[in-house]
């Protein structure tokens, strides 16, 4: 019996050996497995008990008011063996034209603190600039001290603070923004 495999989806961009491509419903089992490996991240944002399926909803369908799925780019970070090791979620022209919103950049624990996040941010910046983006905005939970340090180191500056509820947890979020330029 012949066995066929689906063609590899085209990479949106690369960061060293890592390929970043759009995710789809077909990737749901991989996203769920990534969520299970990133329970610390989910618990930080959503409270206990975390639901790995939340990451699937966030990456594939969660949108702010006035935006459509055409504005959303839920992306997977794949290593050289095509294993999903991270996820990125950006929304075009939100909250303003030419400003993109980064809703998620998460890496499984074994991929953290090795410079991959910075390399992905640099590659994402190049990709966004080719789409005429001028700014990147994000929000970091007060409970995510390592994330806050990373984003400040990466040139993001505070815009405001907001209280937001995710799952069963209400947290203070630091909204930050960075002008996009090649660094």
CA neighbours within 13 Å on the CB side: how many for 12? 24
- Correct CATH for 13-179 of 2.20.25.190, 3.40.50.720, 3.40.630.30, 3.30.420.110: 3.40.630.30
Angle between helices 28-37 and 39-46 (to 10 degrees): 80
In tens, the pLDDT along 137-166 reads 999 988 889 999 999 999 999 999 999 887
Residue 177: its H or E element: strand 169-179
Q: Is the confidence at residue 54, as pLDDT, over 90?
A: no
The whole-number pLDDT of residue 56 equals 79
The whole-number pLDDT of residue 49 equals 62
By DSSP bridging, strand 135-141 and strand 72-78 are unpaired
Domain map (residue ranges) of the chain: 13-179
In tens, the pLDDT along 94-127 reads 999 999 999 999 999 999 989 999 999 999 999 9
Q: Is the confidence at residue 89, as pLDDT, over 80?
A: yes
């Amino acid at each position: 019996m012949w066995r066929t495999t689906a063609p590899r989806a085209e990479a949106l961009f690369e960061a060293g050996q890592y390929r970043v491509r759009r995710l789809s419903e077909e990737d749901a089992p991989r996203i769920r497995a990534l969520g299970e490996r990133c329970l610390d991240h989910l618990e930080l944002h959503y409270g206990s008990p975390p639901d790995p399926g939340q990451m699937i909803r966030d990456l594939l369908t969660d949108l702010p008011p006035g935006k459509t799925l055409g504005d959303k780019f839920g992306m997977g970070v794949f290593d050289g063996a095509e294993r999903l090791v991270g996820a990125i979620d950006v929304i075009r022209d939100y909250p303003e034209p030419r400003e993109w919103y980064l809703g998620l950049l998460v890496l499984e624990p074994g991929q953290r603190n090795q410079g991959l996040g910075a390399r992905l941010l640099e590659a994402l910046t190049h990709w966004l600039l080719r789409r005429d983006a001028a700014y990147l905005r994000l929000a970091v939970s007060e409970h995510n001290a390592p994330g806050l340090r990373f984003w400040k180191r990466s040139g993001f500056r505070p815009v405001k603070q907001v209280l937001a509820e995710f799952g069963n947890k209400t947290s203070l979020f630091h909204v930050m923004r960075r002008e996009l330029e090649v660094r």
